[in-house]
Chains A and B, each alone.
Chain A
């Protein structure tokens, strides 16, 4: 067993002394995220620059049985990159190369540290006809981490989870081998993460870094239309929202459908704001899509159940911005720098029940709430966020927010939802009710891939 200083020296040898820290300040910062999970300090933070360096670190960690936690920007807010057992946090953001854009096969290959913001900007500049599914997370969220947590984005109504858009992986396995997944394992092209081969990407996506460290990722790109607009509809009837979402997706004209519910500002109170995003290459195309959307909801308009809200340019600008800065601003509603959300993935028919629960829980724990729901696939499911803001200088409010979140998570599970980017408490809730054979399979996979149990321990830990 190496001493701490010998481990430090070994890491320095691999990545260079500028990119390893065991100083208190880095250990403090990398011990926590912006959410409510309790912190736990790593022993080291290291920033590799290549897959080879990651490989060396993994081999070292295996030899010494030291936990390894790969980290993007830590924006899941559910503590997924808090090193529960210490060890080494690998900040992957130095691996920041956009390796390849294949315009004809419409994919991009990025290193693990490439952020959504940088990819968006790069595509706009160099490949303006192409785009990727940008999440509403801040631009510093990494493409890889977002795929690993099955994030959603602006193209999820059309194409599913952002992880569904993955088109290949390069992974350093927990035992140190570098492994390619998908078409890139037999071909120079990164067009498919699985088919027609056995789809091994499922061994890594959704596992929160417990089965390997993704060092490169292929991502599908989609046509970027020249024009984009948002249509804003209002209703005060929660029970109509699933039907509205279905009607919108039925048109196959809508890029993205988002529903927001929040009590403040007062103009929001008691209403649900449905945003339908449309795109086109010409005014005619946009106008046609507007008409299709309008026709789809006509019956609701006639019944005066749904209204159309004409938006001023000032009002429209934040709705159109990608990513939306408004998402972060929720953290400062109570001038306190914190928010967290439980985001169950659930059938859309659950919308009314979830809204009722959100309001009930917010009142019960006296916390400020908001919700943003995104349709995933044309009606297959939605991500419903139970979001609560809190003041980081007020421990009592933080405790109430955490209780509110936990209650919402339990409720969502009881209602048939599945918890998204689940924290360790939520992971346990799900594993407790998971089909035992599924659970046993997960355990076998973990033991097979990570015999020493070094990868992000504490997560997906089957007891």
Chain B
């Protein structure tokens, strides 16, 4: 029996999970999108408990409610109860039960099929995994870092640019690194969050094994999702690597004067990715990088750091997009919030957020007023002078 089964009744449905710390708005992406209490964390936990007790049957709608959670962890941050840190694990546990019974939303099933068949959720050929790389050198024993770009960085057009910009910065700073190219495999983070425990374990073990065989000791990830899983889940599979998100590395390069951004001119607001912020407490490094570029005026959105509003892309929703289709979709709300700061640039540090927010800015007809850029892109432009 999974732990959640004996614990999940402890939710009192008090609703703190819906808010940021100052209660200024609703901060649960799926509740904000759908507004029925059933889509809040409390609603979800009560429905899971009802399902476990046999008071309600499985239905497509129940599965949709469960999978509309982006696992952004706002609920864990705000819940006043002692079990707060476990909430997302309970939801993932319930998803695992649905996966085992084969009763999941079709989009989620297709996500898994794509990972099984292609090693990425986009059904792109493995042989094209390094198409973005423009000759970036492969990792060889003795390189200081493995640069792990992940599925989005490998296949998504915007994220590929992000990966190339990072490679440019690392090369210009003399960092010793290489990539895996076609040999790279999905990191397993989204697969885990979507409840496919067997597949995520398989990916984690496979990657760990490969990294060990190659002699990898230090990893730079492009994506906070990969950072999260490698930092927090790989050790249990024996993968004790030093894992860094690229903003940590770049921040260090700037501090050591290995990278010297030139002056630019922009009013920038920064969107904290959930898997960097709430999951791993990395809030300062991305901001330090932006502050290091002379001429950047950094303004904060009302909801920032641990109160940042999720873009809606977590738990594979950058592909499955179960919260799309409305002005109340989280990414569109976040795009409007960014625009309200008066910024001309919305900076991100996650290829998932980059994809979600780029689309959202277009949907809001803000694309000529608000540019969505990854920090690597901003920095590369500054380096180019």
Contact = CB atoms under 8 A, between A and B. Distances in A.
Interface string A27-42: 0111001100000000
Interface string A328-362: 11011001111100000000000000000000000
A396 to B, nearest CB: 14
Query: Contact residue range for chain B?
Result: 35 or more
A21 B10 contact: no
Contacts of B15: 73, 75, 138-140
A307 interface: no
A121 B14 contact: no
Interface string A228-260: 000000000000000000000000000000000
Contacts of B59: 23-25
Contacts of A336: 9-10
A229 B25 CA distance: 27
B38 interface: yes
B57 interface: yes
A335 B12 contact: no
Contact of A47 (B10, B36, B43, B80): B36
Interface string B288-325: 00000000000000000000000000000000000000
A339 B22 CA distance: 25
A18 interface: yes
A146 to B, nearest CB: 14
Contact of A29 (B9, B18, B38): B38
B81 A328 contact: yes
Contact of A28 (B18, B35, B56): B56
A289 interface: no
A332 B83 contact: yes
B13 interface: yes
B24 interface: yes
Nearest to B81: A332
Given A94-B35, A122-B24, A338 B80 contact: no
Nearest to A113: B35
Given A138-B14, A140-B14, A117 B19 contact: yes
A416 to B, nearest CB: 32
A118 B36 CA distance: 18
A385 B294 CA distance: 59
Contact of A25 (B19, B47, B81): B47
Given A29-B37, A94-B35, A118-B24, A139 B16 contact: yes
Contact of A328 (B35, B61, B80): B80
Contacts of B24: 118, 121-122, 125
A83 B78 CA distance: 30
A337 B7 CA distance: 9
A139 B57 contact: no
A29 to B, nearest CB: 5
A322 to B, nearest CB: 10
For B25, B49, B59, B80, the residue with the greatest tally of chain A CB atoms inside 10 Å of its CB is B80
A139 B23 contact: yes
Given A18-B326, A29-B43, A34 B12 contact: yes
A211 interface: no
B9 A391 contact: yes
Contacts of B25: 118, 121
24 contacts: A21-B36, A26-B36, A28-B47, A28-B55, A28-B56, A29-B36, A29-B37, A29-B47, A34-B12, A34-B14, A94-B35, A117-B19, A138-B14, A138-B15, A139-B19, A140-B15, A326-B80, A331-B12, A332-B12, A332-B81, A332-B82, A337-B12, A339-B12, A392-B49
Given A18-B34, A24-B62, A328-B12, 15 more contacts: A24-B59, A25-B47, A28-B38, A28-B56, A33-B13, A73-B15, A93-B35, A140-B14, A140-B16, A326-B80, A332-B10, A332-B12, A332-B81, A332-B83, A337-B12
